[in-house]
Amino acid sequence: MSDKALLEITDLWVTYWGRSLLGLAGKPFHAVKGANLSIRAGETLGLVGESGSGKSSIANTVLGLVPAASGSMRFGDVDLASLRMRYPSAVRNQIQAVFQDPYSSLNPSMTVEDIVTEPLRVHTAMNRSERRDRAIELLELVSLSREHLERHPHQFSGGQRQRIAIASALALQPKLIVLDEPVSALDVSTQNQIINLLYERRDALGIAYLLIAHDLALVHHISDRIAVMYLGHIVEEGPSDRVYKAPAHPYTKALLDAVPLLDPQAQRDRREARKAAPAHEMPRMAATGCPYKNRCPSAMPRCQAEMPPVYEIDGGGTASCFLYADHVEAPKNGTGRAA
Ligand SMILES: Nc1ncnc2c1ncn2[C@@H]1O[C@H](COP(=O)(O)OP(=O)(O)OP(=O)(O)O)[C@@H](O)[C@H]1O
Ligand SMILES: [Mg+2]
């Protein structure tokens, strides 16, 4: 693992513009508000937080699917934000993605061979037989085999489909894979298998992951660092073990206390119910002060009016919370790594 950041996100804002009836740009909605994150080569950053906190907005901005409203995303020598979603292929090849839904992310009319070799066909000069050899290698990396080459996605279980998606993401030997809830749609034992597979491949191939999840407990083993999001803000960040065993921010504590729903269907139902809930039951961004103040058991008067700065936390990392007002403030736009 190198010391230099592979991806350094600084003061990133992601804004969606509503549309009026006339199709004119309406009110802005800030889904990500000044996020700072960094990932070193070969490192896994777990990004957790409840539904709507802005995790996928960060992922999609890194992938060039959504524009950054402001801020920078330095990937090696390139500022991804300044490319305005038009990544040259040399950059695009180095950042791959795996999404949540293994049932809709794979083209049903393609064979596994076509799916896994597609990136090689588009981005390399390999001929058909070289691509086939590489496809077999890639399938073996995800514990599938050459017998699977001719089959179609519907002939596989959800876990196997996610293995195929991972094989395809590995094809071009990327430096970074963005995994947006790669196991949320799977049953618990399959979740663990896929997480273990990701862990092994990362160590063998030296890839960095931005790993998005709801469940901190599930990703803490594989993550080197964890960042916690709440309503567009990174409220805490630090070494995975410290965040998991000694969470600093009251929201991280609440997240760890929340009983995870083991049944994926129950999880989907809960997510849908949250989306359908009337506005007053949804977490709301207060106009001033700490974004978590309305739900925080430790809220103090100053939390109402002031946005808490980012403080360094014992054991490493940072938290944006006045409970740590006697701690040293982290450098502006820093990620608390020094701590
Ligand atoms: N294309 C869009 N247009 C308008 N608003 C959007 C758009 N995409 C996301 N949002 C809003 O931005 C906020 C953050 O959404 P995002 O998908 O990043 O959250 P998330 O943390 O990934 O949630 P989940 O866990 O449900 O996937 C939400 O309030 C969402 O409704
Ligand atoms: Mg999401």
- Domains for the chain: give ranges and CATH numbers: 41-68+87-94+172-285 (3.40.50.300)
Number of Cβ atoms within 10 Å of the Cβ of 27: 9
Number of Cβ atoms within 10 Å of the Cβ of 254: 16
Tokens of 237: 């960040």
pTM: 0.90
Task: For residue 180, report the distance from its CA to the centre of ligand 2, in Å.
Answer: 7
Task: For residue 149, report the distance from its CA to the centre of ligand 1, in Å.
Answer: 36
Task: For residue 29, report the distance from its CA to the centre of ligand 1, in Å.
Answer: 10
Over residues 122-147, the pLDDT tens digits come to 999 999 999 999 999 999 999 999 99
Q: How far apart are CA 199 and CA 278, in angstroms?
A: 40
Over residues 192-221, the pLDDT tens digits come to 999 999 999 998 889 999 999 988 988 898
Q: Which of 253, 234, 257 is nearest to 243 (CA)?
A: 253
Q: How many residues does the structure list for the chain?
A: 339
Determine contact, residues 313/324, Cβ cutoff 8 Å.
Answer: yes
Q: Which of 56, 46, 27, 19 is nearest to 232 (CA)?
A: 56
Task: For residue 52, report the distance from its CA to the centre of ligand 2, in Å.
Answer: 7
Tokens of 337: 């790594």
Q: Which residues pair with 28 in a beta bridge?
A: 17
* Closest ligand 1 atom, residue 60 Cα: 18
- The overall longest dimension of the chain from CA atoms, in Å, is 68
Is residue 5's pLDDT more than 70?
yes
Is residue 338's pLDDT more than 50?
no
Determine contact, residues 62/73, Cβ cutoff 8 Å.
Answer: yes
Nearest CA to ligand 1 atom 12: 31
Task: For residue 138, report the distance from its CA to the centre of ligand 1, in Å.
Answer: 33
Q: Which of 99, 66, 69 is nearest to 85 (CA)?
A: 66
Residues 6+ apart with CB under 8 A from 171: 116, 117, 118, 119, 120, 134, 138
Ligand nearest to the CA of 52: 1
Rg, C-alpha atoms of the chain: 21
User: Across residues 9-17, what is the average pLDDT?
Assistant: 96
Task: For residue 30, report the distance from its CA to the centre of ligand 1, in Å.
Answer: 10
Q: How far apart are CA 329 and CA 87, in angstroms?
A: 35
Ligand nearest to the CA of 99: 2
Q: How far apart are CA 265 and CA 144, in angstroms?
A: 27
- Ligand 1 cavity residues, CB under 6 Å: 16, 29, 31, 49, 51-57, 271
Which of 13, 33, 53 maximizes ligand 1 atoms within 8 Å of its Cβ, making it the mutation to test the pocket? Answer: 53
Over residues 168-197, the pLDDT tens digits come to 999 999 999 999 999 999 999 999 999 999
Please identify which residue in the block is written with the tokens 């999404």: 99
Q: Which of 332, 260, 334, 252 is nearest to 295 (CA)?
A: 252
Say what the pLDDT of residue 285 is. Answer: 54
Determine contact, residues 87/17, Cβ cutoff 8 Å.
Answer: no
* Closest ligand 1 atom, residue 66 Cα: 1
Nearest CA to ligand 1 atom 29: 52
* Closest ligand 1 atom, residue 212 Cα: 22
Say what the pLDDT of residue 257 is. Answer: 84
Nearest CA to ligand 1 atom 5: 16
Tokens of 153: 């996605």
DSSP 124-165: ----HHHHHHHHHHHHHHTT--GGGTT--GGGS-HHHHHHHH
Say what the pLDDT of residue 281 is. Answer: 39
